[in-house]
Chain A
Amino acid sequence: MSTLAPGARRKSKAGWNLLGLLVFVTAGFPVYWMVNTAFKPAKDAIDPDPSLLPTGLTLGNFSRALDIADFWGPVGRSLIVSLSVVAIGVVVGTLAALAISRFAFRGRKIVIVGILAVQMIPLVAMIIPVFLLLNDLDQYDKLSGLIITYLTFILPFTVWTLRGFIVNIPKELEEAAMVDGCSPTGAFLRVVFPLLAPGMVATSVYAFIQAWNEYLYALMLLSQKNQTATVWLGNFTTKHGTEYAPMMAGSTMMAVPIVVLFLLVQRKMAAGLTAGAVKG
């Protein structure tokens, strides 16, 4: 701190850095170990005294993971579900977000409280009635059933997040456009929408990740033959028990694209919600 002599300060800085590196190693190790195991020759993976450094590079575990059970089918289904959820969620969510951020109307606060409250219901608690509802609607074991179910947790999220992006767009811009002869719709399309687009992209990616990662509903609402990618990984066992090296290869295939996507939007999500657009 500032009261220390320069030498002492450098020393304390080194101490903090050492602690920081310890945090880095601890937080990063599981991710490192997953990738490390995925590329290891299978016999090195079950060494009772495993080497912490990579011992060789092989893609054998990946091909083994793809052989154990159909991989591309579940991935395709996960893609269909996630993309559909994002498409519906972002369009419907944008409309709703516009309503609560740009209009004053009776009942607005109740709607906001409702949308916030909905996010607080643990999804696990809803699985029984949702399962029975889809059963009644003949939507059990159908991707459409899963899509509509996912909207329950994606919609509140998209509405609330997009609302955050919309309130950061100064109303004055729209008003100016309307003074210049735009209709409210025209003002939205020409002024708000271009400014909102990056936020919509980030929200979409984030919603995609959430839908892609969901496990419980996918497990419960689809049969084995229609399983999605997360369920594929969760059920990863062979006749010989769990083969960890292929399982880590499968995990790597599932995680890396998602982590990359996450890295791309994470900053934008934080920035979009914190950046003030109206400079006072």
Chain B
Amino acid sequence: MSAADTTTPTEVPPPMSVPPPSRPVLPRRKRTFNATPWLLLAPCLLILVLVLGYPLVRLVTLSFQKFGQSQLWGFLPADWVGFDNFTGVLDDGEFWAVVVRTFVFAAGCVIFTMVAGMLIALLLQRVSGWVKTLVNIALVASWGMPIIVATTVFKWLFDADYGILNALLSKLPGVEMIGHNWFASGPQGLAVIMLLVVWGAVPFVVITLSAGLTQVPAELEEAARLDGAGAWGIFRYVTLPILKPLIVMLTTLSVIWDMGVFPQVFVMRNGHPEPEFQILTTYSYDRAFVVNDYGQGSAIALITVLLLLGVVAVYMRQMLKIGEVE
């Protein structure tokens, strides 16, 4: 759900120096059906099918049904309405504004996260040991913060009247920010939420990329330097290609997480995001639980999932490569 709450698992892929995990040994004899692995998998698959597979199917069917309060309480049957929910959503001008806003917001989060993460990882290679330790402590602390806590803290930092940020900015000559409401306008408020998302997401990127940077052979850098490459050249032609698999993985993960941002917006706006704060996730939630149109809410959620499929495919390919299950 978020970089954290969404806290989806964080994985540092094994570095290249590790020999590939031994592949399962195929029995030499004719392969007979072995029930053991399936017995071991059964409880896991059972739970996933019940609580994930079934709702996923239900999400699709709901998208093609009229499903509101009356259907929820069982007064009326859920009627099939074909693509009505989708046409209803797609004809709604506001929906497209939400889609564009979501893309801009998620793109901003991903770009800032990756660029800041890369820069900090490179910086950590150049600082003294004690500075590195300090930065790592700050990073792990911000990474470990529950999203909901981070959100309340940012609410406080950016508070119009008593927030420390306005107070500090007002110390600058000629700046008077006390009482400035950061959430009066959508773009400004979303920029604050973006900062919150990036702040929470950067540590994972830094720590993963730092691990990756230790894999870059010094000889290669040295060779590039002898060939006359500057710092940028070395980064561009030596470091970047070696880090590429990690960068692809981190970027795809970030896209998936940042498209799924919900609690940050929801809690920042006290449970009722204004129209100019709506992104796909909150919009789908509103349609279902505020307007009680579960059909259209599901259609919006389904569209969101479909939009992400391409990104997911890239991630999966990368993971299968890294995990060497090919």
Contact = CB atoms under 8 A, between A and B. Distances in A.
B172 interface: no
Nearest to A207: B9
Nearest to A25: B138
A89 to B, nearest CB: 9
A223 interface: no
Could you say which interface size class chain A belongs to? 35 or more
A124 B285 contact: yes
Contact of B156 (A170, A244, A273): A244
A128 B56 CA distance: 10
B295 to A, nearest CB: 9
A19 B123 contact: yes
Contacts of B135: 20, 23-24, 27
Interface in A4-41: 13, 16-17, 19-21, 23-25, 27-28, 30-31, 33-34, 37
Nearest to A171: B22
B291 interface: no
Contact of B162 (A45, A95, A135, A149): A45
Contact of A116 (B44, B281, B297, B319): B319
Interface string B130-163: 0110110111111111111111111111010110
B134 A24 contact: yes
Contacts of A34: 149, 153, 156
Contacts of B15: 274
B59 A21 contact: no
A56 interface: no
A273 B41 CA distance: 22
B141 A1 contact: no
Given A95-B43, A262-B140, A274 B211 contact: yes
A28 B141 contact: yes
A95 B14 contact: no
B173 interface: no
A259 B127 CA distance: 25
A116 to B, nearest CB: 6
A269 B41 contact: no
B40 A128 contact: no
A98 interface: yes
Interface in B161-217: 161-162, 164, 167, 178, 199, 202-203, 207, 211
A133 interface: yes
Contact of A159 (B38, B44, B152): B44
Contacts of A195: none
A69 interface: no
Interface string A91-118: 0110110111111111011011111111
A127 interface: yes
B144 A266 contact: yes
Interface string A112-149: 11111111111111111110110100000000000011
Say whether chain B's binding surface is mostly helix, strand, loop, or mixed.
helix
B146 A213 contact: yes
Nearest to A230: B148
B110 interface: no
A122 B37 CA distance: 29
Contact of B123 (A20, A128, A248): A20
Interface residues of B, number: 119
A148 B51 contact: yes
Given A23-B120, A128-B294, A128-B298, A122 B43 contact: no
A236 B273 CA distance: 17
Which residue of A28, A129, A276 has the most chain B CB atoms within 10 A of its CB atom? A129
Contacts of A210: 5, 7
Contacts of B285: 124, 127
A119 B21 contact: no
A164 interface: yes
A129 B145 contact: no
B6 interface: yes
Contacts of B12: 269-270, 273-274
Given A128-B62, A132-B294, A213-B146, A120 B138 contact: no
Given A129-B298, A233-B149, A23 B123 contact: yes
Given A122-B304, A230-B146, A251-B152, A153 B8 contact: yes
The 3 closest A-B pairs by CB, nearest first: A262-B144, A276-B18, A167-B21
Interface of B: 1, 4-15, 17-19, 21-27, 31, 33-34, 36-38, 40-41, 43-45, 47-48, 50-52, 54-56, 58-59, 62, 72, 120, 123-124, 126-128, 131-132, 134-135, 137-157, 159, 161-162, 164, 167, 178, 199, 202-203, 207, 211, 225, 231, 256, 259-260, 262-263, 266-267, 270-271, 281, 284-285, 288-289, 294, 297-298, 301-302, 304-305, 308, 312, 315-316, 319-320, 323, 325
28 contacts: A21-B134, A25-B138, A28-B142, A30-B153, A46-B161, A47-B162, A93-B44, A95-B41, A103-B34, A105-B38, A111-B41, A119-B9, A122-B260, A124-B1, A125-B302, A125-B304, A126-B55, A128-B288, A128-B298, A133-B54, A213-B4, A213-B7, A215-B267, A248-B156, A255-B145, A261-B144, A262-B143, A270-B12
Given A105-B34, A122-B281, A274-B15, 12 more contacts: A19-B127, A48-B161, A96-B45, A103-B36, A122-B259, A123-B6, A129-B55, A133-B54, A133-B55, A216-B5, A236-B152, A244-B159
